[in-house]
Every structure is written in C-alpha cells, then in structure tokens.
Amino acid sequence: MKKILGLVPLFVLCSVSLVLALNPSRTYKSKPDKYGMKYEEKKVTTSDGATLNVWYFPCPTEKTTKMVLICHNGEGNMGEYLERTSSFISAGYNVIAFDYRGYGESSEFAIEKSMYLYPQFATDVLAMIDFVRKSYVQTFNVYGFGIGAGLSVGIGANRPEVKKVVADGPFLSLETYKAAAGKAGEQLDMPFGYNKKYEPLFCFENNPAAHLTGILYVVGEYDKIVTPADIKTMVGKASKISKTYLVKGSYNPQNFDTNKNEYFKNVLEFLNK
C-alpha cells in the first residue's frame, strides 16, 4: 500500500495540464459587489500612457495603514482572485488589486497567448507602486503569484516603498523559466528588452535591497517548472531576509487551492511578524 501511495504524486504531476502562458480576459465574471465587498474603482495612468483598472478595498473593521498590493498571474483578470483579496481584508489589511494592460477594463493591449510576460507589465507594476505611495501609504507589502510573483520580487527589490514580498511560484529569470517550461513540454515565447534588474535572479546584484524586511517564497512540493531547488537558489540571493513555504502535495499554480487555510496561515504569519 505504501508503494502505491508513493506513486500518486508522480501520477498527478504527469497528468496536470500546466497553464503557463498569458490568458487574458476582458470580462469580469465576478465583481466585488457580488460578495458584498466594499471597494472603490480607480484608474491609474502608467508612464507610457496606458490606463490600469484598479480596485481599492479598505479594511471594513478598523482604520489601518497596513496595505497589500496584489499582482496576479496573467490568467483571466483580477475578478477571478477575489477570494485571495478577501483573505487579506479579513486579516485586517487594506488591499489594492489591479489588471495589467490588456486585462479586464485596463487599456487595450495586444497579447499573444504564447507569451509568458511583457516588459509593459513591469511598467504597470511600477505605476501601481507610485500610485499606492502617493495615494495611501509610504510603505506596504506586495503579494504576487505566477508572473506576478516574479514581478513582485524583481521590482520590489528595487523600490524602497516595498517592505515585504510574498512570491508564489516566481520565475528566476526569463531564460531559465523558458528552459524549464520546454523540458516540461510547454513552449513559451519571452519578450525582448525586459530589464534584467527586474528579474529575480539578478535583482539583488549591486543592490542590497536594504529596504526589504522579508521575502516569503511559496513553492509547490511537486512543481517541475519552479522547483524547490530553484527557490533555494533564490533564498541564497538574500538569505537574511528570505524564507520558504513549501506547500506539501502541491504543484504551482495550484498552491493556493491545495489548502487555503494553511496557505494563508503561513502568508499572514510572515506578514504580521
């Protein structure tokens, strides 16, 4: 019996259809109103003139300066991740969610679904950091998953407004991610001209990131694209402030769904420490 059980994770791993490339949706299947969530819709203009659709969720139970900026994974739009948003709000945080250009009600932007990431998404995150600083608080935390995780680490290491980063399944570099995806049978296109200082593998070079007080890397036990060994490499880049949450029995992008209560217990313990 033990031998059979030991084979189950391998079967699951081999049978999973990985979703790695961009898959935008312009239609919100759900808006916060559906769940009675208090929010304000905002518009943010980027440095190159794009307009981003933004939802600001104030903590309904108390006045607080605690803030989390959410960077999603490029699948659907921010309306599909309201459960995660609600978890932060319930824990006493104000939350900012947004859509990259080409998603939801943000500016039109042509997206090839074979692409993993566009340099313009980094511009979008930079604009959001500026917006949160100017409109709400001087320093805050960033939570990202999928492409949002890599953007959160790479950009967060370069922006003094960011205190802590929670990165669920970040790419190390575009080159290493493409190679890992290829080995797993997923062919991805990568952009030209992406700023290397925003790639997690290189963002700490010549940059002590002294403003960051912590990075939590979330990785699935059986993830074959961003592996626990990859995350160990990232932790070594800034070992004094980095830690790992290994999600048992999980493969990204399903880390959140594996055990939602345990997932947010670990995330909130890290942020509240």
> If you write DSSP's letter for every residue of 221-259 in order, what string do you get?
TT-SSS-HHHHHHHHHHTTTTEEEEEETT--TT-HHHH-
* Rounded CA separation 178/24 (Å): 20
pLDDT of residue 208: 73
Asked whether the beta carbons of 269 and 30 are under 8 A apart, the reply is no
Place of tokens 């969610």: 97
* pTM summary value: 0.93
Element containing residue 89 per DSSP (H, E): helix 82-90
Residue range 115-153, pLDDT digits in tens: 999 999 999 999 999 999 999 999 999 999 999 999 999
Residue range 147-160, pLDDT digits in tens: 999 999 999 999 99
C-alpha dihedral (59, 27, 148, 50), degrees to nearest 10: -100
Place of tokens 């990202």: 144
Nearest to 116 by CA among 25, 186, 64: 186
Residue range 5-39, pLDDT digits in tens: 333 344 343 444 455 789 999 999 999 999 999 99
CATH of 2-272, one of 3.40.50.1820, 3.40.640.10, 3.30.1370.100, 3.30.465.10: 3.40.50.1820
